[in-house]
């Protein structure tokens, strides 16, 4: 049972819960305002608290990659259980001391959003863990990542996740490990396995033409 059904936290494949939030850019209705009703992807990420060391490095890193996310038609949204005034002051500090402007909104949560999305770690106080929700333009949650408070995230992996999801969606393919630098196939993609006798025969017949196969269930191709 997921939140959209009235209980539990949302899972991959669920619709992102509808909610009104207060941010450093004003009020927002999620997921509608973030996707602009079907135009954009968005990445919602939580951090344990403003004015903390690891979180500061993360916000700096996200801001440095904001252009990459924009090129992927993707918006960033931060969140922690802090007041909006703390968010604004922290963003100001980052700009003044690290010469980096925070271009994305930061949600000021009183705990309702974090609880709905399962961001609170039991036994770790009221602050949020480092969670990431990647949401597509239809408002569907596609990836959920959780990190403990003491480990900063790899922002390049989050960029890669968005690229991989969009590539898979646009081309009807699967994405191999470490793509686009897979040890077996480089930047090539995986063709979904055949699921019938006829499909197996077709796969074998076309191997070496439209794609290459190690076997009928493991075929790859360039886009």
Q: Is there a catalytic annotation at residue 219?
A: no
Q: HSE on the CB side for 96, CA within 13 Å?
A: 6
Mention every residue, 6+ apart, whose C-beta is less than 8 A from residue 55: 47, 48, 49, 80
Nearest Cα to Cα of residue 9 among 128, 123, 104, 105: 128
Which member of 55, 161, 213, 219 is catalytic? 55
* Cβ partners under 8 Å of residue 18, min gap 6: 29, 30, 31, 32
DSSP state of 1: -
Which among 147, 121, 112, 123 is positioned nearest to 133, based on CA atoms? 147
Dihedral sign, Cα of residue 56, residue 57, residue 58, residue 62: positive
State the catalytic residues.
Answer: 55
């Amino acid at each position: 049972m997921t939140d959209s059904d009235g209980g539990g936290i949302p899972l991959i494949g669920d619709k992102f819960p509808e909610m009104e939030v207060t941010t450093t850019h004003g009020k927002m209705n999620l997921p509608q305002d973030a996707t602009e009703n079907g135009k954009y992807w968005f990445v919602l990420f939580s951090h344990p608290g403003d004015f903390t060391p690891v979180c500061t490095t993360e916000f700096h890193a996200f801001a440095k990659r904001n252009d990459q996310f924009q090129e992927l038609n993707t918006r960033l949204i931060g969140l922690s259980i802090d007041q909006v005034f703390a968010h604004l002051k922290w963003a100001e500090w980052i700009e003044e001391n690290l010469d980096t402007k925070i271009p994305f909104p930061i949600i000021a949560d009183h705990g309702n959003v974090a609880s709905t999305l399962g961001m609170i770690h039991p036994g770790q106080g009221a602050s949020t863990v480092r969670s990431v929700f990647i949401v597509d333009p239809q408002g569907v949650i596609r990836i959920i990542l959780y990190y403990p408070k003491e480990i900063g995230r790899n922002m390049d992996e989050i960029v890669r996740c968005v690229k991989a999801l969009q590539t898979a969606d646009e081309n009807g393919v699967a994405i191999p490990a470490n793509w686009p630098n897979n040890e077996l196939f480089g930047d090539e993609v995986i063709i979904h396995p055949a699921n019938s006798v006829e499909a197996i025969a077709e796969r074998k017949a076309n191997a070496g033409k439209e794609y290459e196969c190690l076997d009928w269930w493991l075929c790859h191709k360039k886009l």
